[in-house]
Structure 1
Amino acid sequence: MPGGGEGGMSEGWDDLWPVVAEVEREQWGYVPFERVGPLRFGMREPEALAVMAAAGFACEAEVQRGHIKGKVTFRKSAERGGEPDVTAYFVDHLDAEGLTCVTVDGRGGPQVTWEGIKLIGRVPSQLTAEFLDYVEARDLGFGFSVQGDVFPVDQGFIPATQRAGDVLVTRAMFANPEGWAFTVDDCIPQEAWGVR
Structure 2
Amino acid sequence: MTGSKQTGVTAHYWYPEGLPVLGAVTVHGRTGPQIAHAGIPLIGATPSRLDEAMSQHIKNHDLGLLFTPSGSPIPPGLQCDINTTRAGDTAISEVTFASADWEL
TM-score (norm: length of structure 2): 0.81
Q: What residue in structure 1 maps to residue 93 of structure 2? A: 170
Q: How does 1:30-41 map to 2 (within 5 A)?
A: none
Shift of 1:147: 3.2
Q: What residue in structure 2 maps to residue 49 of structure 1? A: none
Structure 1 unaligned spans of 5+: 1-14, 16-77, 189-196
Q: How does 1:95-174 map to 2 (within 5 A)?
A: 98-174=21-97
Q: How does 1:5-24 map to 2 (within 5 A)?
A: none
SS in 1 for 2:43: coil
Aligned pairs, number: 103
Structure 2 unaligned spans of 5+: none
The alignment-based identity, stated in percent, is 32
Contact 2:35–2:42 (CA under 8 A) maintained in structure 1: yes
User: Is the radius of gyration larger for structure 1 or structure 2?
Assistant: 1
4+ residue stretches of structure 1 with deviation over 4 A? Answer: none
Q: 1:118, 1:135 → 2: CA distance? A: 15
Contact 1:151–1:159 (CA under 8 A) maintained in structure 2: no
Aligned-residue CA RMSD (Å) = 2.5
Q: 2:93, 2:20 → 1: CA distance? A: 29
Shift of 1:146: 3.8
Please list the CA deviations of residues 40-78 of structure 1 after superposition, one character each: whole Å capped at 9, or x if unmatched: xxxxxxxxxxxxxxxxxxxxxxxxxxxxxxxxxxxxxx6
Q: 1:117, 1:150 → 2: CA distance? A: 13
Q: What residue in structure 2 maps to residue 79 of structure 1? A: 4
Q: 2:77, 2:40 → 1: CA distance? A: 16
Contact 1:145–1:160 (CA under 8 A) maintained in structure 2: no
Shift of 1:123: 1.2
Query: Does 1 or 2 have the higher relative contact order (CA < 8 Å, sep 6+)?
Result: 2
Q: 1:161, 1:142 → 2: CA distance? A: 20
More helix by share: 1
Q: What residue in structure 1 maps to residue 11 of structure 2? A: 88
